[in-house]
A and B are shown apart, each in its own frame.
Chain A
Amino acid sequence: MNEPENELLAPGHRTCAGCGPAIAIRQMLRATGKNVVICEATGCMEVTSTAYPETSWKVPWIHVLFENVSSVASGVKEALIKQGKDDVKVIALAGDGGMVDIGFRALSGAMERGHDVLFLCYDNEAYMNTGVQRSGATPFGAATTTSPAGTEIAGKQEWKKNVPFIAVAHGLKYVATASIAYPEDFQAKIKKALSIKGPKYLHVHCPCPVGWGCDGAKTIKYAKAAVETGLWALYEIEEGKLKLNTKPSELKPAEEYLRGQRRFKHLKEEDIKKIEKHAKQRFDHLLELENSEISLLKVL
């Protein structure tokens, strides 16, 4: 790992204590090195890292709007190619809201066109910048300010949108999920993704202590627990072939993970069972996919 003085995200940015996305970005930049352009969508990380006239970014960085980062990145990449700077890597970086909801059309268009760009979603499971509203990536049962835990409706009623698989459906040769609790795995995936020409998609899970209502000193612990309970799974889909990167022999019960967070406080015993069952089922399916000869690209 790099020495702190080689960090490409300078300290002094205004993220909250224990911010998961800030950790994700530091880890990301350690893997990219300096020869990269970062295009970022509006969201917590953009707002907190670039308060004019200061900036935390030691690599070229651009922000335009909330929902167009993938299109901006396609323009940046094509311009660099035209200038003969093919070696400069381009990353389109957005939160879950900016990538999987409002920026979804732009993401889909850019992936379909095949630009040589890494689309990287840092997923803190809600619109945090605007005060913790529900996104398509918010997990089932989580209370947010627009999916509150009321007397009749208890938090978000839909499951998390599976954008990595939607990315595969665009014919991408490399799609992966990651977690800030597994930095070597995450960084290896960034490096591998950047070594592949064409579009690639990476989705990194990172807790938001403020939005989730958990202890900011335990961000990594929560990120790890999400993987150990199967609520988040680490995998790579290369050429349509799925490979799980962590395979706990048995998934841990989700209760402790869920109970530690304010957003899940209202959940009843049966809700927790439902969430655990869903996680187990999904994990078993992922294992099945891994053990099969199925290439997800072949159905396209």
Chain B
Amino acid sequence: MSEVMEGSHGVAHAVKLCKPDVLAMYPITPSTHIPEGLAQLIADGKMDTKFITVESEFSAMSACVGVSAAGSRAFTATSSQGLLLMTEVVYAAAGMRLPIVTVIVNRTISAPINIWNDHQDTFAERDSGWLQIYCETNQEALDTTIQAYKIAEDAGVLLPVFVCMDGFVLSHTYEPLEVPEQNEVDAFLPPYTPKHAFLDPNKPITQGPFAYPKPYAAMRKELSDAIMNSKTVVKKVHNEFAEKFGRAYGDGIIEEYKSDKPTVIVAMGSVCGTIKEVVDERDDIGLVRIRCYRPFPKEELVKALEGKENIIVFEKDVALGMASGALYHEIKSILAGKNVRINNVVGGLGGIDTTKKNISNFVDRMKDQNDKIEFLRGDPNE
């Protein structure tokens, strides 16, 4: 059924369809409409879920860990400072292999304080062991939220997942969204039965123990392997969803958009919509969109970028102390030794708009350059 709704409410509806047992959420702009939407659904009796109105994001993620460890389905959402505040728990949740789904409505981080979109908040959690899937549209955010549970809870994964959607640009935008029927989602995502040991007096286990160096190192290696192996499940779940619901996002890992050109832009999130328009308007560039950023799609990108002459990495984060974005270095590292020019735009910081003109200008300026790094300042004609 198609319904005009705000991106955040689309996510709230997706969460409802996934029937989580317990939510633990705390408000922060621009993710606030998600807990508000869910609270309303519960208050109206449309959702049989316990909402723990925690006193902080730190407790939101902590309660989710408790819920998941007890063998139930948990959900939370946050942004920016909220995510940074819960960081310590974020790492613990992955280390404990708990399949928690969290929607991050991406917002920049302090200081200075600013409520608008970029990806610095989730980039701060890059190495935490969580999967990170970046959405281009509200429909994708809705669909990916449903997929995320199936990925996280897969017996071969058992890892938490961040579904990332851009603040305001997506979260506060109204557009028609396809909301799947409950019975369709039930068939895709059956009622929850934990695939991991959980807290149960009939079968006592110890979770979150102390570990000496050797078992610790072994567990970190297992965690590293697990997140790498999860890529096949991300793809499988995406394909199954595409088959059932008729909507696909590239191959679930990356999306190649008219990328059979010598010059391509690599980017993530909603800005890809703008880039696609530029690609359509001029016939000399293509786009490779990264959807699944963690695990990093190394093989997929190497293949998609094979034989390219110029790559422009457009990203909404800055690796302070490296004078560039972080993704840029990752792309360079996987293409090391190849004969290709790689340039970097650090754009959209703190919510500055990225215009089609900006993108076109960058392409023209950088096409013949190598290792050029520019920071977008927010001038529409820049």
The interface of chain A, by Cβ under 8 A from chain B, is: 34-37, 39, 46-47, 50-53, 55, 57-65, 67-68, 70-83, 88, 105-106, 108-110, 112-113
Contact = CB atoms under 8 A, between A and B. Distances in A.
A88 B212 CA distance: 32
Contact of B208 (A64, A71, A73, A79): A64
A67 B58 CA distance: 9
Contacts of B58: 67-68, 71, 105-106
Contact of B52 (A60, A63, A67, A75): A75
Contact of B63 (A47, A72, A81): A72
B59 A79 contact: no
Contacts of B199: 37, 60-62, 76, 80
A27 to B, nearest CB: 19
A53 B153 CA distance: 24
Interface in B64-83: 64-72, 74
Given A35-B201, A79-B66, A52 B50 contact: no
Contacts of B59: 68, 70-71, 74, 105-106, 109-110
Given A109-B56, A109-B59, A79 B67 contact: yes
A72 B66 contact: yes
Interface string B10-54: 000000000001101000000000000000000000000010111
16 contacts: A47-B210, A59-B204, A60-B207, A71-B63, A72-B69, A74-B54, A74-B63, A76-B69, A77-B66, A78-B22, A79-B67, A79-B71, A80-B70, A81-B50, A106-B56, A112-B55
Nearest to A34: B201
A247 B190 CA distance: 60
A62 to B, nearest CB: 4
B54 to A, nearest CB: 6
B65 A72 contact: yes
Contacts of B69: 62, 72, 75-76
B96 interface: yes
Nearest to B216: A52
| Most chain B CB neighbours (cut-off 10 Å) among A35, A47, A64 | A64
| Most chain B CB neighbours (cut-off 10 Å) among A34, A37, A59 | A37
Nearest to B56: A105
A51 B63 contact: no
A35 B201 CA distance: 5
Contacts of A110: 59
Nearest to A69: B62
A108 B92 CA distance: 22
Given A35-B201, A57-B204, 4 more contacts: A75-B65, A78-B50, A83-B72, A105-B55
A36 to B, nearest CB: 7
Nearest to A110: B59
Contact of B206 (A35, A36, A55, A105): A55
B54 A109 contact: yes
B19 to A, nearest CB: 11
Contact of A76 (B66, B96, B206, B211): B66
Contacts of A76: 66-67, 69-70, 199
Contact of B92 (A47, A60, A65): A65
B60 to A, nearest CB: 8
Contact of A61 (B64, B66, B204): B204
B84 to A, nearest CB: 15
Contacts of B201: 34-37, 59-60, 88
Given A58-B204, A68-B59, A109-B55, A74 B211 contact: no
B246 interface: no
B88 interface: yes
Contacts of B53: 113
B169 interface: no
A171 to B, nearest CB: 15
B66 A73 contact: yes
B209 A51 contact: yes
B89 interface: yes
A71 B24 CA distance: 10
B364 interface: no
Contacts of B89: 64-65, 68
B1 interface: no
A238 B59 CA distance: 28
A206 to B, nearest CB: 20
Contacts of A53: 215
B299 interface: no
Contact of B67 (A36, A61, A75): A75
B62 A64 contact: yes
B200 interface: yes
Contacts of B50: 78, 81-82
Nearest to B23: A78
B215 A52 contact: yes
A147 to B, nearest CB: 26
B205 interface: yes
A155 to B, nearest CB: 31
A70 B52 CA distance: 13
A70 B203 CA distance: 23
B72 A79 contact: yes
A51 B55 contact: no
Contacts of A74: 24, 52, 54, 59, 63, 66
Contacts of A71: 24, 54, 58-60, 62-63, 66
Contacts of A78: 21-22, 50, 52, 63, 66-67
Task: Return the 5 tightest CB-CB contacts between A and B, nearest first.
Answer: A75-B66, A109-B55, A75-B63, A71-B62, A71-B59
Contacts of A73: 66
A46 B210 contact: yes
A74 B25 CA distance: 13
B212 A51 contact: yes
